Amino acid sequence: MIPGEAPRRLVLLGHPVAHSRSPRMQTAALAAAGIAAQYDALDIAPEHFEDAVAMLAKERAAGNVTVPYKERMRDACDSVTPLAEHIGAVNCWWVDERGRLTGDNTDVGGFDAAVTSLLGRRPRDLSVGVLGAGGAAAGVLGAVESWPGCLAHVYNRTPERARLLCERFRSAAHPVDDVGVIAGCQLVVNATSVGLHDDAVPLDVSLLAAESVVVDLVYRPNETAFVRAARASGHRSIDGRAMLVEQGALAFERWFGVSPDRDVMWRAVAQD
């Protein structure tokens, strides 16, 4: 548990945030744990982000961060955990007993748990194709570098972003300029926002190798078009809900020092 008084206000910072199920999920977890706290989503315009964070820090609030602010939140924090520093992104934050805004990254643990559950074993000796080079992709690479014998291939529409990201994870990742390399990997991960608002897909599923397993970090009601198309083509596939629940549970543990009821969180997320 974070030292000092437990937070009574929890917020999700992002732009947009209306689609997020984090408020529903965390509210259910708080009620199940008997914790009197409120969790809300705040849609913050980019030009107001730092001012909003400073105001919340003065209130001793805590919470999560989603697209597109995970990297900016790292810079806004007074202190970050070694993991968050390495990943370069913060998705979980609080104010410590000294009044310092503190950031952590639970996306790594959330992604690791989601993939382990999908595969039915600890990942090892896999080729991993990653679409995207933002904060979500960094969380993916943070998990991949802990998996024995795994190598990630990273593709981004802006090749320089992929190159810079892979520099931080050079033991486990390298950039590629051919999306076909991603499609040929054993584990294919969509770490972009494609499919968040519509049925666009980040990759033509007909390009996927026969053994490819698909993880889409995006989630929508009735899953994403990418997940549905991949499954229809015979690929094991999951959307971002498994990662959402686990990263949220890990954040809950950071704020309150107790494990939330994950079954309650799953039921809340599954409601359409």
As a whole number, the mean pLDDT across the chain is 96
Percentage, residues of the chain above pLDDT 70: 98
The model's pLDDT over 199-258, given as tens digits with 9 standing for 90+, comes to 999 999 999 999 999 999 999 989 999 999 999 999 999 999 999 999 999 999 999 999
Whole-Å CA distances, 72 to 46, 53, 66, 103, 190: 10, 10, 11, 11, 21
Average pLDDT on 86-109 reads 96
The model's pLDDT over 140-196, given as tens digits with 9 standing for 90+, comes to 999 999 999 999 999 999 999 999 999 999 999 999 999 999 999 999 999 999 999
Domains and CATH numbers, the chain: 9-105+248-270 (3.40.50.10860), 108-239 (3.40.50.720)
Q: Are 166 and 173 in contact (CB under 8 A)?
A: yes
What confidence tier does 1 reach under pLDDT thresholds 50, 70, 90?
A: very low
Active site residues: 70
What confidence tier does 5 reach under pLDDT thresholds 50, 70, 90?
A: confident
Q: Are 150 and 178 in contact (CB under 8 A)?
A: no
260 pLDDT above the threshold of 60: yes
Q: Cα(224)–Cα(242) distance, rounded to whole angstroms?
A: 14
